[in-house]
Structure 1
Amino acid sequence: MWQRMIRMESATNSSSEESIFHEQTRKLFRLCDAQNIGLIGKSDLDVLVDLIPPDDLQKISRFIGEQKVNEPAFCRILKAIVSQALQQEMAKIEAQIPAFDKNQYLQESSLEDEMRAIEQNRSYLDDPLTKILKKELEEIQRYENSQIQNEHAINNTMIKKPLYRPIQPEPTIPKVSSLAEELNAIDKKVPQREEEEELTQPDRIFKVVFVGDSAVGKTCFLHRFCHNRFKPLFNATIGVDFTVKTMKIAPNRAIAMQLWDTAGQERFRSITKQYFRKADGVVLMFDVTSEQSFLNVRNWIDSVRAGVDEATVMCLVGNKVDLFGSDIARSGVYRAAEKLALEFKIPFYETSAYTGYGIENCMRQMAESLQRREDNHLEEALKLDMNSNYKKRSWCCI
C-alpha cells in the first residue's frame, strides 16, 4: 500500500490519481483514529506497523511530536514524506546510471581504419579472424563499385516509352452544365442497391442517449460507429450533440437510432438530464483506465433512472480496452464491471474506439433489445384491444 502511494504521488498530474492518494491517506487516518474523535497522536501510529516501513513511520512520528493532528494535517505530513521518499529513489536510480561518454561514440572508427591499423601490426596478419574481415571488406568494395556502374548505365539509357498513361475523361459520364444535371447523371450511372433503399426507410426510430464522465470516449465511440473511422482530436462536447444511424437487423428489419452525445462535465449536468426523458435506450460509458470514471457510474445510473421509464433499455460500456497494459489488469476491470452490471441487471460490453473492437456488437445488441421491447409493447396492446372488443360483444349479446 505504501509503495502504491509513492507511485501515485509520482503521477499527481492526473486528478484521479491525486484523489486516490488522498483517499488512501484518509483510510490510514481512520485506522489510527480508533476512538473516532478526529485527532490522532504519536501513540496511535502503532496500527500502521504492517502497512508503512519502520523508517517512514518514525519520520511521521517525529513530524507529529507530542501534539495531536487532524486529518488534513496528517495528509500533508504523509505527502511530504512520500515526496521525500520519491526523491531518494530517483537519486538512487540516477546514481546507478553510468556516465555518458560522448567521445566514445563520436570517435568510432570505420572498418577500413581498423583494417589499416591491423596491417600496420604484422603479428595480426596470420590471424584467421583478420583474414575473414579483410575478405568481407573486399566484397563490400566490389559491391559498391558495381552499384555505381549500374547507376551510370541506367542514366545513360534512353527511355522511349512514357512512364505514365495520360489521364482520359470518363466516357460514360456525359458533360453537363449544372450541378443538378451532374448529380442526375451520376445517379443514372451508379444505381443504388436495394439494401441501401431499404435502409433509407426505417420501420422505427429509437432515441439512444450516451452518458458518462468527460473524456471517456463517447464522441470517438459514435464517430467510429457512424463513420468507421477513429478521430483522435475532439473538443469537449458542449451541451448535447446528436446524429442518426440506420441499421438492418433480423428478420430483415431496418431501424434508425438517434444517437445523443451528452457532455460529461459537471457544469452541463442539468442540461443533459433533460434529454433522458422519452429515451428508448441509454449507454452508460466509462474509461477502463480511469478508476474515477468507473466509480461515478453509480451516480450516472441514479440520474438516468430518475428521468426514464422502467422499460428503458440500458447497457454498461467499458471503453479504451486497447490501453490495457496486461491481461491481469483487463480481467480485474472486467470482473468489477460485470459485477456492477449484474447488480443493476444490465449487459456489459468491452469496446475500443481506436481499434473498433466490440462497437458493432454493442450497438447491434442494443438495437435488437429495443426492437424486442417494441414488439412486446405492440403484443400487449393487441391483447388489450382484443379483450376490450370481446367484452363489448358479450355485453351487446346480453
Structure 2
Amino acid sequence: MDLTLWQYQFRIIMLGDSTVGKSSLLKRYTEDLFLETINQTVGVDFYVHFLEVEPGVRVKLQFWDTAGQERFRSVTRSYYRNSVGGLLVFDLTNRASFEHIRDWHAEVCERVQPQKVVFVLVGHKSDMDIDGDRAVSQEEAERLAGQLGMPYTEASAKTGHNVREAFEMVTRRVYQGLLSEEVQLQEGWDGIKCAAPQALLERRASMAQASSTKKEKKCCA
C-alpha cells in the first residue's frame, strides 16, 4: 500500500482521565507496541495511522492524544473543535474514571458546535478482569454508552484484545456518517479533509440510488 495516497483524513481525539491508558492504546494500534511503563502525556501527543475502510478507499488517521490532568485542560480543549471522532476511554479497574466520562463527553460536545463528533466508549484494561479487579460492569458501561448515543467495547493494550477493533469502529462510524451526510465537510474545519470531493459526491449518489431501488423492490414485494 502506498501510504502517501489517501482519499480522506480524519482527526480523532483521545479523551479520558490521566492513567486510563490512552497512550498505551495508541501505541498498540499504531506501532503494535506495549510498554509496561510509559511517560504521562504532557499537553497533546500526535500519532498517524492509515486504514482502508473499503476497497480502494484509504483514510489517513491523525490521532490527538490528550493529557487527562486538569492543569493541561486549557491546552487540550483547543483541539476539540477540529476533531471528527473521539475515543472516550476509562479504566475498568478505576470507578472514578468511568464516572467522569459524562463530563468529558459534555465538554467536547459543548465546544464543537455546530460540528458533530462521532464517539466510541472504550473500557480499557480488560486483561485485569481475570484478577477480579473490575470496578465497572459491562452492563452499566453499555447502558451509559446507550444513553450517550455511542457503541461500547472493552480492550486491552497489554494483550492487544479489541484494540484494532476499537479504532476501526470509530473510523468506520465517521466514514459512514460522511457518506450519509450526517457528518459534513466544512471550509476552515480540519476534522475531515477530502482529497477527492467529486468521488465523495458520486459515492453518495450511488448509495442514494441503491437505497431508492431497495425501497421500490420492498414496496412491490
TM tier, shorter chain? 0.7 to 0.9
What is the CA-CA distance between 1:237 and the residue it aligns to?
Answer: 0.6
Structure 2 distance, partners of 1:352, 1:235, is 18
SS at match of 2:75: helix
Which structure has more RCO (C-alpha within 8 Å, separation ≥ 6)?
2
Letter in structure 2 aligned against 1:238: V
- CA change 1:313–1:218 in 2 (3 A) is same
Structure 2 distance, partners of 1:318, 1:328, is 13
The ranges of structure 1 where at least 4 consecutive aligned residues each deviate by more than 3 angstroms after the TM superposition are 325-330
Structure 2 distance, partners of 1:339, 1:233, is 32
CA contact (8 A) 1:200 1:246 kept: no
Q: Structure 1 length normalisation: TM-score?
A: 0.44
Structure 1 distance, partners of 2:44, 2:140, is 29
Letter in structure 2 aligned against 1:233: T
- Equivalent positions of 1:269-280 (< 5 A) are 269-280=73-84
2:129 — aligned with what?
324
Structure 2 distance, partners of 1:326, 1:221, is 20
- Equivalent positions of 1:142-153 (< 5 A) are none
Structure 1 distance, partners of 2:16, 2:4, is 30
CA contact (8 A) 1:220 1:232 kept: no
1:143 — aligned with what?
none
SS at match of 1:256: strand
- CA change 1:328–1:221 in 2 (3 A) is closer
1:363 — aligned with what?
167
Structure 2 distance, partners of 1:230, 1:293, is 21
What is the CA-CA distance between 1:356 and the residue it aligns to?
Answer: 0.6
Structure 1 distance, partners of 2:142, 2:67, is 25
CA contact (8 A) 2:120 2:169 kept: no
Larger Rg: 1
Q: Structure 2 length normalisation: TM-score?
A: 0.78
Give the one of 118, 142, 156 matched to 1:313.
118
Structure 2 distance, partners of 1:287, 1:329, is 9
Structure 2 distance, partners of 1:375, 1:281, is 15
Q: Mind listing any 5+ residue stretches in structure 2 that lack a counterpart?
A: 182-199, 206-221
Task: Give the alignment's Cα RMSD to 1 decimal.
Answer: 2.1
Letter in structure 2 aligned against 1:278: N
What is the CA-CA distance between 1:363 and the residue it aligns to?
Answer: 1.1
Paired-residue identity, %? 34
SS at match of 2:112: coil
What is the CA-CA distance between 1:328 and the residue it aligns to?
Answer: 10
Structure 1 distance, partners of 2:147, 2:27, is 30
More strand by share: 2
What is the CA-CA distance between 1:376 and the residue it aligns to?
Answer: 2.4
Letter in structure 2 aligned against 1:317: V
CA contact (8 A) 2:11 2:64 kept: yes
Structure 2 distance, partners of 1:240, 1:295, is 23
- Equivalent positions of 1:274-353 (< 5 A) are 274-309=78-113, 310-325=115-130, 329=134, 333-353=137-157
Q: Mind listing any 5+ residue stretches in structure 1 that lack a counterpart?
A: 1-195, 384-398
1:104-140 deviations in whole A, cap 9, x for unaligned? xxxxxxxxxxxxxxxxxxxxxxxxxxxxxxxxxxxxx
- CA change 1:254–1:268 in 2 (3 A) is same
1:250 aligns with 2:54: yes
1:163-197 deviations in whole A, cap 9, x for unaligned? xxxxxxxxxxxxxxxxxxxxxxxxxxxxxxxxx22
1:10 — aligned with what?
none
2:36 — aligned with what?
232
More helix by share: 1
What is the CA-CA distance between 1:370 and the residue it aligns to?
Answer: 1.3
Structure 1 distance, partners of 2:134, 2:93, is 9
Structure 1 distance, partners of 2:21, 2:131, is 21
Structure 2 distance, partners of 1:269, 1:366, is 23
Structure 1 distance, partners of 2:70, 2:170, is 27
What is the CA-CA distance between 1:301 and the residue it aligns to?
Answer: 0.9
1:222 aligns with 2:26: yes
Give the one of 177, 186, 209 matched to 1:373.
177
CA contact (8 A) 1:249 1:368 kept: yes
SS at match of 1:209: strand
SS at match of 2:6: coil
